[in-house]
Structure 1
Amino acid sequence: MIELFQNHMNTSLSFLKKGKLLVAISGGLDSVVLTHLCCKSGLNIALAHCNFNLRGDESDADEDFVLQLAENLDLEVFIESFDTMAYADEYKQSIQMAARELRYNWFQELSEQLNFDYILTAHHADDNLETFLINLSRGTGLDGLTGIPEINGNIVRPLLPFSRQDIEVYAKDKKLKWREDSSNVSTKYMRNKLRHDVIPILKSINPNLLQNFQTTLNNLNDTADIVEERVNAVLKRSIESIDNTEIKFKISEFKKLNNPKAYLHEILKDYGFTEWTDVVNLLDAQSGKQLFSPSHRLLKDRDFLILTEIKTEEPNQVISISEDDKKVEMPLGILCFETVDDITKTASHLIYVDKTLVNFPLKLRKWEEGDYFYPLGMKGKKKLSKYLKDEKLSLFEKEHVWLLMSGNDIVWVLGKRPDERFKITEHTKQILRIELK
């Protein structure tokens, strides 16, 4: 196996030879074999072990075993102890999900702090098959059927081409010692039930199951590449605009497709949406209709779908500005104040007002129903809600409209329109320049 492992490194993972590597080790068969193979191949590795404190003395014995293994192999080792039960309770997660999150978060912290180039895990071909069957049984899309990626960011899985049997034969041949996790015997977890009850039957029916499965994965990944290429082409045509706050999609582009639901799923699946019939129905919904995922919001706005992240903001936030303030930070940017002698330029992000007409402290706040102002250049007042509607602002854009106030009077609808009552005239003696950067 060592020769096959090194050949795989040379052909597919040669970049690992020059890297500083962190090997995730539980003390079990797979991670112990990975550690030995890396050492035999001359890779620059250190070990990282998580004690999840879920199996009492057994968990501590695993930790002791890893420490001894690291000493025997003259390797640096990092150990972290977690209160996994408390973490799972706090974040309303299963024990397995909590352990996974704790494990990978810690690995990434070590990687960043100590400049490890890659994190190696001991997933193998049987793990890949189990993951495929779990996803299949729960219902999934193409992504869930393409297997565990061998390279995912800085996570690398060098044992994916090898079976559990390959690994066990190597360990016994080399007389390696490892720890057996008693929880792996229990079939209360789906993965263990598949491992002990289902996959052995499939292998007895077809001894070439793993080889054929790998062929299937290769075919599915080829299909996934075609799908990605087609989705990217549609995405390129459908995006009207994109910035740090929102993505605006042209509805007309989705309506041209034979199966818009499939494309919407591929484009929006990473944003937490799950009710795809509702998403498709949004194409023909009334303007203003919106859908929510745990993290994002999708709005129908005239001829567009607008996607934005849901952010919690301080309710009824009011920012006070004294006469001495030159710069004030706010959610839209930085508001700058300067007393000047004359008007040099004009722009939507810049206004000039008669300083003697404003009363400090000024206030910054979000707009509210019932607000009105006197738009510069117009006679009479106008409801702000009507002004924003006439400006054809989407619901999301309206939610981010801020006002600069002098007492109860609007001085400026920020980035939009100043108020007539504070404009510069021939009688103005002090000019206040206000710029939003």
Structure 2
Amino acid sequence: MLQKFKKHIAVNFPFLEGKKLLIAISGGVDSVVLTHLFSELNFDISLAHCNFKLREKESDLDEEFVIKLSQKTSNQIFTIIFNTDKFAKKNKLSTQIAARDLRYKWFKELVETHNFDYVLTAHHADDNLETFLINLTRGSGLDGFTGIPSVNGNIVRPLLAFSREEIINFATENNIEWREDKSNASTKYTRNKIRHQILPVLKEINPSLLETFSNTIENLKESAQIIEDRIEEISKKIISKKNEILRFDIIKIQQLSNPKAYLYQLLKKYHFTEWNDIYNLLSSQSGKQIISETHRLLKDRDFLLLSKRDFSTSPKITFKIEKNTLEITEPLHLSFKRVNEKSIGNKQIIYVSKELLEFPLIVRKWENGDYFFPAGMQGKKKLSKYFKDEKLSLLEKEQTWLLCNAKNEIIWVIGKRQDNRFLVQDTSKEIVKVSII
């Protein structure tokens, strides 16, 4: 297996050569063999072990084992202890998902702190097939059937081409010790039930199951690539961007052969799950929206508007600007500069008579009842009416900031319209140029 593995790395993972690698090691046969293989090939590796405290004394013995292995192979090791059950309950996660989240967050910290190039995990061909079958039982789109990626960012899985049987045989032939997790024998968990009760039957039906499955995965990946190419082509025709908001043309979407399927492909990376509701959004009234954990999709006339959810600010939050401030960076980047005269302005710049300013200035979101005196117009206007006349979407309204004086009077609807009351006059002695940077 060593020579086969050496060739596999040279052909499929040549970018690992000369890099600083971190191997995720549990103490089980898979990760222990991965460690031995890379040690034999003289790669620059370090080990990372998580003690999840899920198996009482057994978890501590796993940690002791991998520490001794690191000493035996002369590799640096990092260890950490997690209270996994507490984390799972607090975040309402399953134990397995909680352990995964803790593990990968810690790996990311190690990479950043110690400048590792890649993190290696010991997933193998049987893991890949088990994941496929789990997704099959739960229901999945094509993405769930294209297998565990061998490379995902800086996470690399070099053993996916090898079976569990090959790995165990290599360990046995080379007198390599490992820790056996007794919970792996329990059929309490879905993966173990598939491993011990389903796969043996499938392998009996087809002794070449893993090879057949590998071919299937490659065929599915090729099909997925065709879909990806088509979605990229369609995206150029139906998606436009304005102020960090993606606009999906509803009429063009409805003209597609299967709008619901296209919507899934277009929006799946934004963590939406209610696909029937998203499809119904096409024919809903303006203002209806659907929220994912990271994004918001809003129906606005002839468009679906997609934006990131803003968790950092609320309409009630204000930012104060004291006298003689030259620049602020929150909630947006503004500069304040004294100038001798004004030049032709634009929506990114206004000129204000300094003597008209009352400090501290305030930057805030708009509220119901707000009004101002739009430059170039007569009289005052409610901000809600101004937004309507400008045909701003709900998302654009929510993302609009106001620059106000100490009395909360609007000086500038930032990036849109200045207030008449604060325009530079012929009698102005000092002029302040306010710019969006």
TM-score greater than 0.5 by the shorter chain: yes
**Equivalent residue number for residue 22 of structure 1:** 22
Alpha-carbon distance in 2 for matches of 1:117, 1:50: 20
Give me the CA root mean square deviation.
1.7
Which residue is equivalent to 2:352? 353
State the Cα distance separating 1:198 from its structure 2 match.
1.0
The equivalent residue for 2:180 is 180
1:380 aligned partner: 379
Deviation at 1:191, TM superposition (A): 0.4
Aligned length: 435
Q: Cα distance, 1:252 vs. partner?
A: 2.8
SS at match of 1:284: coil
What's the CA shift for 1:432?
3.2
Which deviates the most, 318-327 or 265-274? 318-327
* Counterpart residue type for residue 138 of structure 2: R
- Structure 2: distance between partners of 1:74 and 1:357: 72
Query: What per-residue deviation string (whole Å, max 9, x for no partner) do you get for residues 151-171 of structure 1?
Result: 111111111111111111121
**Cα distance, 1:116 vs structure 2:** 1.8
Output the CA distance in 1 between the equivalents of 2:367 and 2:359.
21
Distance 1:289 1:216, change over 3 A: same
Q: Which runs of 4+ in 1 moved over 4 A?
A: none
Within a 5 Å distance, the mapping from 1:206-355 to structure 2 comes to 206-241=206-241, 245-312=244-311, 313-334=313-334, 336-355=335-354
Alignment-mate amino acid for residue 271 of structure 1: Y
CA distance in 2, matches of 1:382, 1:156: 59
Give the Cα–Cα distance (whole angstroms) in 1 for the partners of residues 183 and 74 of structure 2: 30
Q: 1:116 to 1:318 in 2, by over 3 A?
A: closer
| Counterpart residue number, 2:89 | 89
* 1:69 and 2:69 correspond: yes
Instruction: Name the CA distance, whole Å, in 2 between partners of 1:142 and 1:367.
Output: 44
**Which residue number corresponds to residue 395 of structure 1?**
394
- d(CA) in 1 for partners of 2:428 and 2:341? 10
Q: CA deviation at 1:63?
A: 1.1
Q: Check the 8 A contact 2:336/2:435 in 1, yes or no.
A: yes
Measure the CA separation in 2 of the matches of 1:286 and 1:310.
Answer: 21
One-letter code aligned to 1:311: D
Q: Distance in 1 between matches of 2:141 and 2:68?
A: 44
Q: CA distance change for structure 1 residues 431 and 158 in 2, over 3 Å: closer, same or farther?
A: closer
* Alignment partner, residue 434 of structure 1: 434
User: What SS class does the counterpart of residue 282 from structure 2 fall into?
Assistant: helix
The 1:13/1:328 distance shift into structure 2, 3 A limit, reads closer
Taking the aligned partners of 1:338 and 1:170, their CA distance within structure 2 comes to 71
- TM-score w.r.t. the length of structure 2 is 0.95
Give unmatched runs, 5+ long, in structure 1.
Answer: none
Letter in 2 for 1:309: K
Query: CA deviation digits over 1:350-383, x for unaligned, max 9?
Result: 2223333343333322211112222122222211
1:257 shift after superposition:
0.7
> Partner residue of 1:46?
46
Once residues 18 and 362 of structure 1 are traced to their aligned partners in structure 2, the CA distance between those partners, rounded to angstroms, is 55
Tell me the residue number matched to 2:111.
Answer: 111
Equivalent residue letter for 2:79: I
1:329-355 per-position Cα deviation (integer Å, ceiling 9, x unaligned):
432322x33343322231112222333
Q: Secondary structure at the match of 2:59?
A: helix
Residues 242/192 of structure 1: CA separation in 2 closer, same or farther (3 Å cut): farther
Give 2:258's aligned amino acid.
N
Identify the range of structure 1 (379-388 vs 106-115) with the bigger mean alpha-carbon deviation.
Answer: 106-115
Between the aligned partners of 2:363 and 2:302, the Cα distance in structure 1 is 32
Q: Distance in 1 between matches of 2:29 and 2:113?
A: 28
Separation in 2 of the partners of 1:177 and 1:161? 22
After superposition, the Cα gap between the structure-2 partners of 1:106 and 1:409, relative to the gap in structure 1 and judged at 3 Å, is closer
* 1:242 positional shift: 5.4
Question: 1:206, CA displacement in angstroms?
Answer: 1.4
Of all paired residues, the percent bearing the same amino acid is: 53
Structure 1 letter corresponding to 2:277: D
Verify: 1:364 aligned to 2:356, yes or no. no
CA distance in 2, matches of 1:297, 1:384: 24
Q: TM-score, with normalisation over the residues of structure 1? A: 0.95
Counterpart amino acid of residue 210 in structure 2: L
Which residue does 1:10 correspond to in 2? 10
Deviations 1:190-226 (A, max 9, x none): 0011111111111112111111111111111111111
**1:392-412 C-alpha deviation (Å, 9 max, x unpaired):** 111111112222223243222
1:324 partner letter: N
**What SS does the aligned partner of 1:241 have?**
strand
- 1:199 is paired with a residue whose SS is helix
Q: State the secondary structure of the residue aligned to 1:330.
A: coil
Partner of 2:33: 33
* Aligned-pair CA distance for 1:60: 1.1
Aligned equivalents of 1:33 and 1:149: distance in 2?
20
* Cα pair distance change 1:434/1:151, threshold 3 Å: closer
- In structure 2, the gaps of 5 or more residues are none
Measured in 2, the distance between the counterparts of 1:107 and 1:425 equals 60
